[in-house]
Structure 1
Amino acid sequence: MTTKEIITASIIHIVIPLLGFLLFLSLNKAMKKNTQNAPEIELFTVFINYGILLIIVLTELFWKWSGIASLGTFYLIFGAPIIMGLIILRNKGKLSVSIYHKSIFFSGILYFVITPLAFITIYFLE
C-alpha cells in the first residue's frame, strides 16, 4: 500500500466519520441548550444516514469498493428510507417548535432527493 493510498483510506474511513461525530456533538450540545425536547435521536440518525452516503460516494470515487461499501449501499437503499420516513412523520407537527425540528424534517425530505442524485452521479462518473 502506498502512502497516498494510506492517506486516502484514513481520510475517508477515519477523519470524515470523526469530523462528522464531532460536528454532531457540537450541534447536539447547542440544540439541547436552546430547545426543550430536543430531537437528539433524530439528529443522530440523520447524521448517520448522510455520513454513510458521503462515505459511499467517497469510497466509489477515491477508494476501492468493498463488502462493507455494498452493505452500506444496501442499507441506504432499503433501510434508511424507512427510518427517514419515520423521522419526517415524527417531526411533521413540530415544525414550529424549533429550527432544529424544522431542519431535521427537511433533512429527512431531502434524503429522498439527494441519495438518488448521488447514486446517479456515481453511476455516470464511473
Structure 2
Amino acid sequence: MTPFGRRLRALRAQHGLTLKAMATEIGVSPAYLSALEHGHRGRPNRRFVQQVCRVLGVQRDEADKLARLAALSHPRVTVDTAGLTPEATELANRLAEQIHTMSQDRIDRMLAELRREAPEDVTAGA
C-alpha cells in the first residue's frame, strides 16, 4: 500500500463510500481504484487527485496533503545518484537491497529521521 492509497482508503471509509460507488463517481473502474489503494498502480495524476477531492468534498489543506502523498506514492521508485557522492549511491543501493527485509520499526525510525530533515513535509504522520 502507498501513502496515497492508505489515505484514500481512509477518506473513502470516512465518507461511507464503497469502492464501486467512488470509482463510478470519479469515472474509473473499481479494479483501478482498488489497485491504486493497494499500491499496485503507479502514482495518480493531478487530475485524478482533483476528482477525488471533488467527490469527497475535500478542502484545501487536505487537498494539498493528498497531492503531496500522490507525489510520494510511486510503488517502483528509481533513484538517480549521478553526480552525487559514492556514499549517496551506496545508500540508495543498500536501501533497495534491504528494504524488503527491514522491520517496520526500522523503517519508521529511518523515515522519522528523513522527515526531521524536511519539516515542511506534509506527509509526516500520514
Tell me if TM exceeds 0.5. Answer: no
Q: Comparing both structures, which one devotes a greater share of its residues to helix? A: 1
Report the TM-score when normalising by structure 2.
0.30
Report the TM-score when normalising by structure 1.
0.30
